[in-house]
Amino acid sequence: MSHEALTGRQWRFLAGLDQADVNRFCEAVRVRELTEGQWICRPGDPADTFYFVIDGLLSVCTESEDGRCVATELLLPGECGGCCCLGNRPGTTVLGARAVLASRVGLVERARMIQMIGEMPQLVFGLLDMMQSRERKLEEKLIRVLSLPARERVQAFFADVGAPSLEEAARLPLTHQDIADLLGLTRETVSRAISELRRSERCRSSVAS
């Protein structure tokens, strides 16, 4: 994988490395292209791969007792998953990941990742920074669940995934149930909130004209 494909402000976990180490990291990365709905890993698979989003959008999922895929969070370009594989006992994957949109991900096998961490200590700080960022993101989600009304929660979610208007949000291949799972709402509540936002957008458009 070329150095250029990994440079840029979104790759924070490489920020502390010099160019030689970045190049070494790139050599260990296997790029995989995913079609919409394709899995990187499923719950229960061996936890043996670190991955990060190059472009596109991933959904982190678990499975309900009836076998339904339940989305718990979304990963945007520059964000990573599979960090559980870096433990002493990686075990199996609790949360799977699949592509919401056609996406590209970078994959590094567990043994190679652990070897590079030993050889490039600064990589540890970059990974910790990414994990802290993801933790803050989940904390913000929890605060929204506890404090924001459903309509504002749905509106903030669309803004987070780069779809500030309903027209743009409609292009995302997410069902109302997917959004409900991500936001801790019912499908009916999400549908009602989106209807309210649509009416509000029409009113603003009417006033502006």
pLDDT score at 23: 84
Tens-place pLDDT, residues 82-99 = 877 777 676 788 888 999
Tens-place pLDDT, residues 124-176 = 888 888 888 878 877 877 777 778 888 888 888 888 777 777 777 778 888 89
Which residues are within 8 A (CB) of 43 and not within 5 positions of it... i.e. 6 or more apart?
61, 62, 63, 92, 93, 94, 95, 96
Three-class DSSP category at 79: coil
pTM score, two decimals? 0.74
Fold for 3-134, please state it. Answer: Jelly Rolls (2.60.120)
Tens-place pLDDT, residues 13-24 = 887 788 888 888
With a cut of 70, say whether residue 205 has pLDDT above it: no
With a cut of 80, say whether residue 32 has pLDDT above it: yes
Where are the domain boundaries for CATH 2.60.120.10 in the chain? 3-134
Stretch 50-66: mean pLDDT = 87
pLDDT score at 38: 93
Question: Residue 1's pLDDT band (boundaries 50, 70, 90)?
Answer: low
**CA atoms of 192 and 27, how far apart (whole Å):** 48
With a cut of 70, say whether residue 4 has pLDDT above it: no
The C-alpha angle 104, 107, 109, rounded to 5 degrees, equals 170
